[in-house]
Structure 1
Amino acid sequence: MKCVSHQQANQLLHNRFIVVLGDSIQRSVYKDIVLLLQKEKYLTASQLKSKGEMSFEQDCLVEGGCLSQMHNGTQYREVRQFQSAHYLVRFYFVTRIYSRYMQSILEDFRQGLKPDIVIVNSCVWDISRYYSNWTDDYKENLHKFFEELSGTLPEETLVVWNLAMPLGERLKGGFLVPEIKHKAPQLRYDVIEANFYSGTLANAYGMDVLDLHFQFRFSLHHRTKDGVHWNALVHRRITSLLLQHAAQAWGVSMPCPLTAVEHTEATAQQPVFGNATKPAGMCRMEGAPTYHCPPPSNYFSNMDYLYRPPHHSEPYINYCHEHVMRSRHTRRHYAPYTHHRPSHYAQHGHY
């Protein structure tokens, strides 16, 4: 797969507010987006493993993490934020899809800036740390979350529900405290069941569903030794899937990238996706849109191209997107920050 480049990510997300909600996998999704907005590099192994640090690639820790007690409990908090002149990216660590803490996050959206993109998943903690019979509780919390989220965000906000990634047979993740180690052999099957519930409900509430479990079912060699987390190549692939989908939702053509990503020690022993044999789960489905390559000569000539109605592409209502369960309705052209946006958030302050 040809990954989205630094330059394409910059242009697509120019003056956009991106929010990522979820566990440690979602934290790495946030980190890869922040890194790609600044340079053509992959995350290092140490960056993928770190949590709660004061700063990552010029972002800042706003709440929780090393500012308070570091632990693996369900009350762990971590809020991170990357802000520049034209980007605002925020991450909230959550261990349950609906709780008092999640209600406070939704209140942030009501009182503050409205996100342009919300990328969210909560699954493994929900089904392992709260109830042995998790099904009814998880379904109820999903209903509450989707209903409240729908009433909080404007219609133009793109909400992407990521299905949980495949788990290994032997797990060593931080969420797997001694009290629940007996659940480890069954957990990978519970994730499949939970993905069915969450994907179906997200679809029913009009959210877009990105099936990461399906996408990476044949990429298990890129999973780390703990059986839970994934390497930098997979996270760049996830970022590319998300940004390609956002481009399609906004009716923007996403051509093939022209630049190669600089390798780090985290990827030196692994082939890049573009040079490796494409797994069966990553092939293009019939009827999916074609990304044009090379781009027009004037494609990168103006940073605000996103805000002009594109003449060479159509919103994704007109065809079935290959990575989502359903195609959303056509969105109005939405560019809330076309002019200079005053800084509502201090570089290292509270939101």
Structure 2
Amino acid sequence: MTPLRTSEVRQLLHNKFVVVMGDSIQRAVYKDLVLLLQKDCLLSSRQLETKGELSFERDVLLEGGREGRVHNDIYYREVRQFCTGHHLVRFYFLTRAYSAYLEEVLSKLRRGKHAPDLVILNSCLWDLSRHGHHFHSRYREDLECLFRRMDRVLPESCLLVWNTALPVADVVSGGFLPPRGLASSGRLPEDVIEANFYSCVEAARRGFDLLDLHFHFRHAAQHRLRDGAHWDERAHRRLSQLLLAHVADAWGVNLPGAAAGTEDPAPRRRAERSRQRQARRGRRRGQPREPAGSWRLRSPPRPLPQSPASFPLHQEGAPLPSDSPPQQHPNFSDSSRSQVENSREANAGAGREPEPGPIRRVYTQEQRRASTPYPAQRSAGSQERHHHQRHSSRQNQHTHNQDPSSQTST
């Protein structure tokens, strides 16, 4: 997967309203996305650790955080927003998958001027630590209510991507733990795996997209911070690249480095997803659907620009890239399948296969292998026959050179 640069991320999210919901890890997802929309550099350690600041990289704190009292209670609130002429990214801090506060957030989104085009969502660690009594039943009920409400409230053009919770260490410390349990997490790693299974099943049943971050980071413990739950800046940049690649695949946008002439799996996945949604709607036919509200659709995104295979890391105070629109590149498609009016049933069904690793493309799995520069190895029998043939050839040549009658006269 070729890393996306700032100019390409701007083009992919052009005229898009992105909403990120979740805990402190999802807040870091929001921060890295806001930073990547402005410059090609990584988050600093201080930016990852700070919460509730009044401003981060030209964003605005709308609610909670430093405007109120910063604490580690389940009632902590933090709403942030980054807005430019063509991009709108908002973050809501959640301490539970489904709650009265989530209903309040959904109500504000429905009354808002713009409709969400992309929702990135996860809630797990707080649910298991603060609401984890009999979580096997409670967390599953919260997930069922969450996805049912999302299915009814979000517009059909919105793409919802559920991120599974990242792996945690055997011993963790963090604000999501209750005050009496800041030293050890007990069975938290196993509970996270089980909770991810429940969320994957429920998201697939409702037809939402899934990004299995637990799978992608299961062998990346070296990028986990000392608290055992949070991750460093390089891990979050990798997470952002996986997320953007998943979104591009769902919207039918060809990323840099895609092999030419390969089959695009997006139409096939959209057709399968449409059949699943129609079947589910047929089963619940007769139930009144909540009013959709006054959502506004947006203009389709323009084609992405050309980029090199990797990006340089600039210093924190480096000047921002130009806001001028990038030049069109012929390798990127801008057909009707990349328009924002594509419904969730029309979006790609990436991430709902039973195998791990949700991002799968034909053009990344069926690339032709280059010929190896090393000679093919022979078996023991073939090597012995080859040695015998060489020895016989040398013996015949020696006899031919010593016999005068065998030489041809000139």
Structure 1 distance, partners of 2:76, 2:230, is: 18
Q: Counterpart of 1:331?
A: none
Structure 1 distance, partners of 2:13, 2:179, is: 42
Structure 2 distance, partners of 1:79, 1:319, is: 28
1:59 and 2:59 aligned: yes
Deviation at 1:308, TM superposition (A): 4.4
Deviation at 1:264, TM superposition (A): 5.9
TM-score by length of 1: 0.77
Q: Is the 8 A contact 1:109 1:152 kept in 2?
A: no
Q: What letter corresponds to residue 127 of structure 2 in structure 1?
A: D
Alignment of 1:160-175 (within 5 A): 160-175=161-176
Alignment of 1:182-201 (within 5 A): 184-201=185-202
Indicate the SS of the match to 2:201: helix
Q: Counterpart of 1:19?
A: 19
Percent identity, aligned pairs only?
46
Structure 1 distance, partners of 2:116, 2:17, is: 5
Q: Counterpart of 1:253?
A: 254
Distance 1:185 1:261, change over 3 A: farther
Alignment of 1:40-79 (within 5 A): 40-79=40-79
Q: Counterpart of 2:209?
A: 208
1:309 and 2:336 aligned: yes
Q: What letter corresponds to residue 358 of structure 2 in structure 1?
A: V
1:124 and 2:125 aligned: yes
Q: What letter corresponds to residue 194 of structure 1 in structure 2?
A: A
Distance 1:318 1:117, change over 3 A: closer
Alignment of 1:107-186 (within 5 A): 107-112=107-112, 113-181=114-182, 184-186=185-187
Deviations along 1:133-167, one digit per CA (max 9) or x if unpaired, are 21211111111110011001112211000000000
Q: Is the 8 A contact 1:44 1:264 kept in 2?
A: no
1:28 and 2:28 aligned: yes
Deviation at 1:183, TM superposition (A): 6.1
Distance 1:5 1:326, change over 3 A: closer
Deviations along 1:228-252, one digit per CA (max 9) or x if unpaired, are 0001111111111111111111111
Q: What letter corresponds to residue 174 of structure 2 in structure 1?
A: G
Distance 1:117 1:213, change over 3 A: same
Q: Counterpart of 2:378?
A: none
Indicate the SS of the match to 2:61: strand
Structure 2 distance, partners of 1:264, 1:227, is: 28
Distance 1:34 1:234, change over 3 A: same
Q: Is the 8 A contact 1:11 1:306 kept in 2?
A: no
Q: Is the 8 A contact 1:42 1:261 kept in 2?
A: no
Q: Is the 8 A contact 1:54 1:61 kept in 2?
A: yes
1:324 and 2:358 aligned: yes
Q: Is the 8 A contact 2:350 2:358 kept in 1?
A: no
Alignment of 1:234-313 (within 5 A): 234-256=235-257, 257-258=307-308, 259-262=310-313, 300-301=327-328, 308-309=335-336
Q: Is the 8 A contact 1:203 1:326 kept in 2?
A: no
Deviation at 1:185, TM superposition (A): 2.2
Distance 1:232 1:261, change over 3 A: farther
Q: What letter corresponds to residue 311 of structure 2 in structure 1?
A: A
Q: What letter corresponds to residue 313 of structure 2 in structure 1?
A: E
Structure 2 distance, partners of 1:27, 1:194, is: 20
Structure 1 distance, partners of 2:351, 2:53, is: 42
Q: Is the 8 A contact 1:59 1:83 kept in 2?
A: yes
Deviations along 1:163-215, one digit per CA (max 9) or x if unpaired, are 00000112111112323347602111110110000111011111111100000
Structure 2 distance, partners of 1:249, 1:135, is: 31
User: Between Structure 1 and Structure 2, how many residues are aligned?
Assistant: 290
Q: Which blocks of at least 5 consecutive residues in structure 2 are unaligned? A: 258-306, 317-325, 339-345, 362-410
Q: Which blocks of at least 5 consecutive residues in structure 1 are unaligned? A: 266-298, 328-351
Indicate the SS of the match to 1:63: strand
Structure 1 distance, partners of 2:243, 2:138, is: 29
Distance 1:245 1:185, change over 3 A: same
Q: Is the 8 A contact 2:350 2:360 kept in 1?
A: no
Deviations along 1:297-340, one digit per CA (max 9) or x if unpaired, are xx9428xx8764379xx97469988842899xxxxxxxxxxxxx
Indicate the SS of the match to 2:231: coil
Q: What letter corresponds to residue 260 of structure 1 in structure 2?
A: F
Q: Counterpart of 2:268?
A: none
Structure 2 distance, partners of 1:232, 1:135, is: 32
Q: Counterpart of 1:293?
A: none
Deviating 4+ runs (over 6 angstroms): 318-322
The 10-residue stretch of structure 1 (129-138 or 38-47) with the greater mean CA deviation from structure 2? 129-138
Distance 1:318 1:119, change over 3 A: closer
Q: What letter corresponds to residue 159 of structure 1 in structure 2?
A: L
Q: Counterpart of 2:81?
A: 81
